[in-house]
Structure 1
Amino acid sequence: MRQKISGKTNIWKWLFLILLAAVLGLGLVLMSRVTTYREDTSQIAVKKGTETKIGTFTTTRDQLNDTVATYLKDYQTKDFTYKLYASNQMVLFEGEYVFLGQKIPLYIYFQPSKLEDGSVLLTVSEVSAGTLGLPRAEILTYLKKNYKLPDFISVDVEASSILIQTTAITNNLGIYVKANTIDLYNDQIIFDIYRKK
């Protein structure tokens, strides 16, 4: 008789241990599930930096030309007025060149391109007074000295180019743009909009 009782006790002992292990295991699984984050927020954490991209806008040559003309009204002077606009192949600067007291029409043709930092580089492809070709360095020096240009535009005589630093255009909201795509032929000009932090 003693063997049967000890056998029954052993079975109950093992069943109790199995039940205890199952309850502990279930408890650990539930605890693990409850304390695990559902979404991995490390992937959407805000990048630390000085700027935040807030959007993108696409414009056409005509819309860009209207915007530039409106903006440049404040930079026209009594003696030196000029226009800057995009055609389907080039960006054109139209002004006047004073030679021997005569005002001669001045045309500077640029090939636009975007730089890594989002600025726009206008590289001189041709300079002319009327239909007569002129030396690039002399005309760019004349342009730099006589025409009133915005602060974010710099003329590089040696490289025969003009740099438009779009990130340096200031406003009260701290918003600026970077060039994304400049495709004059297909009439697609895209800028990314950023805000300083």
Structure 2
Amino acid sequence: MKNKWKTGFFLLLGFIVIIVIILLSLIMIPADEKGKIQQTEPNNKNVTFEVKSNKADLNVLINQYIKKEAADSPIEYSIQLQDEVELYGTLQFFSQEVDLKLTFEPEALENGDLVLKQKSISVGSLPLPVSYVLKFIKENYKLPNGVDIQPNEKNVYVNMQQIKLKSDVRIKVNTFDLKNDDITFLILVPVE
């Protein structure tokens, strides 16, 4: 009986010693470069996240932002994202309020900004030149920071870097395809 217990004990002890030797040798052997976990420093001072959105959520966000930024504007307006960007508002014309609707074709630029190219305009039933209406909007509507109306080019330029967000977070437009509801942004969060 004693021999079976002795043999079992030494077999178990030998097995444990072999496992310890294997573990120690694995710990002591340097790993190749592929297997190493590398700490990388960001090549700039931001961490970037890609965010995907849709027209419905973005409509709520844009109009909430407009409401907050243009709270003291005498003229109310709103933006609706459909297959195009639609701006609705009212104009004072000889003490009458006239409904205004402008439609724009959005284009995401490589620098992360957004250009809205004027596509159509309706001001009540008045045939007004587009550049005149855009100039009137620029002079009379309080627009959020970063939104620049370019009447002569019939564009609205949205400088995403100038839009104020909390904690110095910045946004860049990556894709802005309204017809396919494919809207993605890059969110740049400062790390220092």
TM-score range, shorter chain: 0.7 to 0.9
Task: Kindly report which structure 2 residues correspond to 1:27-66, keeping only aligned pairs within 5 A, or say none.
Answer: 38-39=33-34, 45-53=40-48, 55-66=49-60
Q: 1:127·1:133 contact (CA, 8 Å) conserved in 2?
A: no
How many pairs align?
A: 163
Distance 1:78 1:187 in 2: 31
> Which of the numbers 56, 66, 72 marks the counterpart of 1:72?
66
Amino acid at match of 2:113: S
1:190 alignment partner, SS class: strand
The reply on whether 1:103 has 2:89 as its aligned counterpart is no
Shift of 1:192: 1.2
Shift of 1:78: 5.8
> Which of the numbers 82, 86, 89 marks the counterpart of 2:77?
82
2:135 alignment partner, SS class: helix
Q: 1:111·1:125 contact (CA, 8 Å) conserved in 2?
A: yes
Alignment partner, residue 17 of structure 1? none
Distance 1:91 1:149 in 2: 16
After superposition, the CA RMSD in angstroms is 2.4
Residue-by-residue CA offset, 1:82-137 (whole Å, 9 max, x unaligned): 001211x2101111111111110011111101011111111111121124442111
Distance 2:167 2:81 in 1: 28
Task: Kindly report which structure 2 residues correspond to 1:1-197, keeping only aligned pairs within 5 A, or say none.
Answer: 38-39=33-34, 45-53=40-48, 55-74=49-68, 75-77=70-72, 79-87=74-82, 89-197=83-191
Q: 2:73·2:142 contact (CA, 8 Å) conserved in 1?
A: no
Pair 174,78 (structure 1): closer, same or farther in 2 beyond 3 Å? closer
Amino acid at match of 1:113: E
Q: Greater Rg, structure 1 or structure 2?
A: 1
* Runs of 4 or more above 4 Å deviation: 34-37
Shift of 1:48: 3.0
Higher mean C-alpha deviation, range 89-98 or range 172-181: 172-181
Residue-by-residue CA offset, 1:126-163 (whole Å, 9 max, x unaligned): 12112444211111111011101111111111111111
Q: 2:161·2:170 contact (CA, 8 Å) conserved in 1?
A: yes
